[in-house]
Amino acid sequence: MSLAAFGLRESRFAARKAGMERLECEAVVIGAGVVGLAVARALAMAGRETVILERATLIGSETSSRNSEVIHAGLYHYYPPLKESLCIAGRKQLYDFAASHGVAHRRIGKWLVATSPAQVPELETIQAFARANGVTDLAPVAAAAVRREEPHLRFTEVVASPSTGIIDSHAYMLALLGDAQAHGAQLVFDAEVEQLEREKNSWRLNVRNGVERLALGAGLIVNSAGLYAQAIARATEGLDQALVPRLYLAKGNYAAISGRTPFSRLIYPMPEPGGAGVHLTLDMAGQGRLGPNVEWLGHDDPSRIDYAVQDDIIEGFAARARAWWPELKTERLSPAYSGVRPRIAPKEQLAVDFRIDGPALHGLPGLVNLFGIESPGLTASLAIADTVVALLKDFA
């Protein structure tokens, strides 16, 4: 449905500017990925008249639908403070939400695996960091128990994370959207924001919606555009461009595993720069997949991303996975899908926090920019939404 078809309020200001129809609402969320939908839900449930603008024709068609669908426990020492706290808070909220809304999920647990004595200190560091941040259920697994429960696993030491789970991410996004719409939020597809202009007491968004161009007035703007968040920020009148972080695109490829996977939980090796390493995850049907790897793209233009997974990754995946699954045969793997993380730091900087930039930082009333919302963004989504709403509570 087009933006004009929603029958939003006529503008209190000039009805037309440069030939554009002018509509009004209270809050606009740019981006209908998992975080944008969570933010829109929170705003709508707080009584804000909310419109969600999505440049694609589906919800969550980029980063949010191209990940491992893992509910993270909040373990890794490369999670800086905000990312860690929102992951831990969001994990509990996500489990509660999934249970109350009938969203398919399983608290399946994962094992972190050191495959050599040299990796044991890294495993110990992860445990210490997790305990310090309130993740108290990590526990070493006795060698006899490992061999009994996962006889196909090669290991030196194993630590269990029972709070880790999996979720049907698309069903989760639909449930978020359902709640938002039940509280009056409206979603518009094929809506590309071209410019944000600051007016006396509000914002004006110049939007291309299909063949139309419209102006949308709103007091509150949340830039949750993911891979395009920097582009939106650069098109925001009055925003100090020094506050717009550089975008680094880190592609992660996945490989499908044919046949039955002989593991009953997620298997994670030690982390690598840019991610958690090539690990084993299971979907809600029990199908296994390996990935993601980390492939740093040589540009920062999301419109140029090629999501195709090349055949030549398979041998490398198999070789790395055989460090902990020695029986894996290469022919069981095939290219599956890929996603791209909207990172805001180069590969040399592993620890980089979420950026939730509100008016106290940039000085522009009613605006929140979300940058670098990568993993564990899905897990943290409800907690991120609460944070955004709190930043905007004093703005009309």
For the stretch 163-179, pLDDT in tens is: 999 999 999 999 999 99
**Token output for 158:** 């194993």
Q: Are strands 220-223 and 27-30 parallel, antiparallel or unpaired?
A: parallel
Helix (H) or strand (E) holding 208: strand 203-209
Question: Same domain for 240 and 252?
Answer: no
Phi, psi of 188 (to 5 degrees): -125, 120
Question: Same domain for 239 and 134?
Answer: no
Is 334 within a domain? yes
Predicted local distance difference test score (pLDDT) of residue 348: 83
Is 331 within a domain? yes
Helix (H) or strand (E) holding 221: strand 220-223
Is 130 within a domain? yes
The per-residue b/e assignment along 148-173, b for 16 or more CB within 10 angstroms, e otherwise, is eebeebebebbbbbebbbbbbbbbbb
In terms of residue numbers, what domain contains 191?
4-64+170-245+352-392
Predicted local distance difference test score (pLDDT) of residue 15: 37
Q: Please state, in angstroms and rounded to a whole number, the distance separating the CA atoms of residues 64 and 247.
A: 17
Predicted local distance difference test score (pLDDT) of residue 11: 40
Is 179 within a domain? yes
Query: Poorest-confidence range of 131-135, 275-279, 368-372, 384-388?
Result: 275-279
| CATH at 217 | 3.50.50.60
Predicted local distance difference test score (pLDDT) of residue 12: 37
Name 314's Cβ contacts closer than 8 Å, sequence gap at least 6: 255, 330, 333, 334, 335
Q: Please state, in angstroms and rounded to a whole number, the distance separating the CA atoms of residues 160 and 183.
A: 40
Decide: helix, strand or coil at residue 335.
Answer: strand
Question: Same domain for 240 and 267?
Answer: no
Query: Poorest-confidence range of 33-42, 171-180, 251-260, 267-276?
Result: 267-276
Reported confidence tier of residue 21, pLDDT bands at 50, 70, 90:
confident
Q: Please state, in angstroms and rounded to a whole number, the distance separating the CA atoms of residues 238 and 367.
A: 11
**Token output for 97:** 């939400």
pTM: 0.94
Question: Same domain for 141 and 256?
Answer: yes
Question: Same domain for 179 and 293?
Answer: no
Q: Please state, in angstroms and rounded to a whole number, the distance separating the CA atoms of residues 262 and 12.
A: 63
| Bond into 292 cis (ω within 30) | yes
Question: Same domain for 140 and 253?
Answer: yes
Predicted local distance difference test score (pLDDT) of residue 201: 87
Question: Same domain for 153 and 268?
Answer: yes
Is 86 within a domain? no
Is 71 within a domain? no
Predicted local distance difference test score (pLDDT) of residue 7: 53
Is 92 within a domain? no
Question: Same domain for 188 and 219?
Answer: yes
Residue 301, exposed/middle/buried by CB under 10 A (0-12, 13-18, 19+)? exposed
More confident call, 277 vs 211 = 211
Residue with tokens 């690990």: 279
**Closest by CA position to 226, among listed 61, 50, 83, 48:** 61
| CATH at 310 | 3.30.9.10
Query: Poorest-confidence range of 13-17, 35-39, 183-187, 234-238?
Result: 13-17
Question: Same domain for 337 and 253?
Answer: yes
**Closest by CA position to 388, among listed 230, 222, 229:** 222
Q: Please state, in angstroms and rounded to a whole number, the distance separating the CA atoms of residues 17 and 38.
A: 32
**Token output for 224:** 């949750």
Average pLDDT over residues 30-38: 98
**Closest by CA position to 230, among listed 387, 350, 342:** 342
Q: Kindly report, residue by residue over 70-91, the tens digit of the pLDDT.
A: 999 998 766 789 999 999 999 9
Domain count for the chain, please give it. Answer: 2
Question: Same domain for 339 and 367?
Answer: no
Look over the chain and give the mean of its residue pLDDT values, rounded to a whole number.
Answer: 93
Predicted local distance difference test score (pLDDT) of residue 4: 59
Question: Is the predicted pLDDT of residue 218 greater than 60, yes or no?
Answer: yes
Of 303, 319, 343, which residue sits at a domain end?
Answer: 343
Question: Same domain for 195 and 294?
Answer: no
Of 303, 320, 343, which residue sits at a domain end?
Answer: 343
Q: 349's torsion region: left (phi>0), alpha (psi -120 to 50) or beta?
A: beta
Reported confidence tier of residue 63, pLDDT bands at 50, 70, 90:
very high
Predicted local distance difference test score (pLDDT) of residue 338: 97
Is 27 within a domain? yes
Question: Same domain for 157 and 252?
Answer: yes
Q: Please state, in angstroms and rounded to a whole number, the distance separating the CA atoms of residues 320 and 237.
A: 48
Question: Is the predicted pLDDT of residue 237 greater than 90, yes or no?
Answer: yes
